[in-house]
């Protein structure tokens, strides 16, 4: 399929089956982009694509063949939103599960690298490309029992920030989005489906919503080509840092 034949600009959003990814796809579609949404859960992707008049394709950023199939026929790319990623577990370094670390590094770091490398020539060829990478405040700070996630998010942030240097002089903007607490499926995945534990994460405070973050991504995407928003940190008013919020004091 030749995506882009209708003349609309093309945006690719990874991890788009829920949360920040799905909300971002809706915002970019409302701005006039043809949005290509990717995620592992193909039923959700198909429903979202139908809703926003975009294209849904299964995507596992940890799988080379899946990425190759995902990008097939994408002749043109204007915006890439690297949103796929997440956390698994909350364990001290002493007790860390090596498979959880591998999953976090594979999805957040290597996945972002794989997709970005693949789409980079098309983003440059667009003449006004934009790469948005959704990292986290965990890309800027560390916290107890978060080493697997904070190290992966730091590495993902470094990958993105390095590209900002390497692409200087090329027509590609780069924006890193560093959200704090956002109520999505993030904690449900982190706690392996334990809904009670996930809910407890946000008790006693008002977290950001996926839409709050998506609006900011939409703002970055709608700036003129010479304006680069390098890094945007957004947190709920109730959260001062990864370690301190109104509940912890
Ligand atoms: C997650 C940020 O503050 O929930 O990316 O740990 S926080």
**Residue 248 falls inside a structural domain:** no
**Residue 15 falls inside a structural domain:** yes
Round to whole Å and give the CA distance between 78 and 33.
9
pLDDT exceeds 60 at position 1: no
Round to whole Å and give the CA distance between 179 and 159.
17
**Residue 249 falls inside a structural domain:** no
Residue nearest to atom 6 of ligand 1 (CA): 242
**Residue 247 falls inside a structural domain:** no
Distance 79 CA to ligand 1 centre (A): 25
Under 8 Å between Cβ of 178 and 135: yes
Q: For a substitution probing ligand 1, which of 21, 107, 134, 137 has the most ligand atoms within 8 Å of its CB?
A: 137
Round to whole Å and give the CA distance between 196 and 198.
5
C-beta of 79 in contact with ligand 1 (< 6 A): no
Q: Per-residue pLDDT averaged across 156-185, rounded?
A: 97
**Residue 241 falls inside a structural domain:** no
**Residue 112 falls inside a structural domain:** yes
Given this model, what pLDDT does residue 5 score? 64
The 8-class DSSP code of residue 105 comes to I
- Which of 145-149, 161-165, 194-198, 229-233 has the least mean pLDDT? 194-198
C-beta of 23 in contact with ligand 1 (< 6 A): no
Query: Which among 84, 105, 107, 81 has a CA at the least distance from the CA of 185?
Result: 84
pLDDT exceeds 80 at position 219: yes
∠ CA 54-181-241, rounded to 5°: 140
C-beta of 136 in contact with ligand 1 (< 6 A): yes
Q: How confident is the model at residue 181 (pLDDT cuts 50, 70, 90)?
A: very high
Taking the CA of residue 143 as reference, the ligand 1 atom at the shortest distance is 6
Diameter of the chain measured on Cα atoms: 54
Q: Over pLDDT 70: what percentage of the chain?
A: 98
Given this model, what pLDDT does residue 210 score? 98
pLDDT exceeds 80 at position 4: no
Count of all residues that appear for the chain in the document: 249
C-alpha distances out from residue 221 to 28, 127, 129, 209, 215, Å: 8, 14, 10, 19, 10
Q: Per-residue pLDDT averaged across 120-138, rounded?
A: 98
- Asked about 149 being catalytic, the answer comes back as yes
Mean predicted lDDT score pLDDT of the chain: 96
Round to whole Å and give the CA distance between 180 and 100.
21
Q: How confident is the model at residue 151 (pLDDT cuts 50, 70, 90)?
A: very high
**Residue 2 falls inside a structural domain:** no
**Residue 3 falls inside a structural domain:** no
Distance 140 CA to ligand 1 centre (A): 11
How many domains are contained in the chain?
Answer: 1
Q: Per-residue pLDDT averaged across 182-193, rounded?
A: 92
pLDDT exceeds 60 at position 98: yes
Residue nearest to atom 2 of ligand 1 (CA): 180
Distance 86 CA to ligand 1 centre (A): 10
Q: Over pLDDT 90: what percentage of the chain?
A: 96
State the angle between helix axes of 42-52 and 19-30 in degrees (0 to 180), rounded to the nearest 10: 20
Given this model, what pLDDT does residue 75 score? 85
Q: Per-residue pLDDT averaged across 55-71, rounded?
A: 97
Report helix, strand or coil for 59.
coil
Given this model, what pLDDT does residue 48 score? 98
Under 8 Å between Cβ of 16 and 39: yes
pLDDT exceeds 90 at position 203: yes
Round to whole Å and give the CA distance between 108 and 12.
16
Given this model, what pLDDT does residue 2 score? 58
Q: How confident is the model at residue 92 (pLDDT cuts 50, 70, 90)?
A: very high
* pTM of the complete model beyond 0.85: yes
Q: Which domain holds residue 58?
A: 10-234
Pairing label, strands 34-39, 231-234: unpaired
CATH code of the domain containing 153: 3.40.50.720
């Amino acid at each position: 399929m030749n995506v882009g034949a209708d003349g609309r600009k093309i945006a690719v959003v990874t991890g788009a089956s829920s949360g920040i990814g799905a909300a971002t796809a809706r915002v970019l579609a409302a701005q006039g982009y043809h949005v290509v949404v990717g995620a592992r859960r193909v039923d959700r992707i198909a429903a979202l694509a139908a809703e926003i008049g975009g294209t849904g394709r299964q995507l596992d950023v940890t799988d080379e063949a899946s990425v190759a199939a995902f990008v097939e026929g994408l002749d043109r790319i204007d915006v890439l939103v690297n949103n796929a990623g997440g956390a698994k577990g909350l364990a001290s370094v002493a007790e860390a599960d090596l498979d959880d670390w591998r999953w976090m590094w594979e999805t957040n770091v290597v996945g972002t690298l794989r997709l970005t490398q693949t789409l980079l020539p098309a983003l440059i060829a667009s003449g006004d490309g934009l790469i948005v990478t959704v990292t986290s405040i965990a890309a800027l700070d560390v916290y107890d029992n978060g080493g697997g996630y904070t190290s992966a998010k730091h590495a993902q942030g470094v990958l993105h920030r390095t590209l900002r240097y390497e692409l200087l002089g090329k027509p590609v903007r780069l924006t890193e989005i560093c959200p704090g607490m956002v109520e999505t499926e993030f904690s449900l995945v982190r706690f392996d489906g334990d809904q009670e534990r996930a809910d407890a994460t946000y008790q006693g405070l008002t977290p950001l919503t996926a839409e709050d973050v998506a609006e900011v991504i939409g703002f970055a995407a709608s700036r003129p080509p010479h304006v680069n928003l390098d890094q945007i940190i957004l947190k709920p008013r109730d959260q001062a840092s990864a370690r301190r919020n109104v509940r912890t004091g």
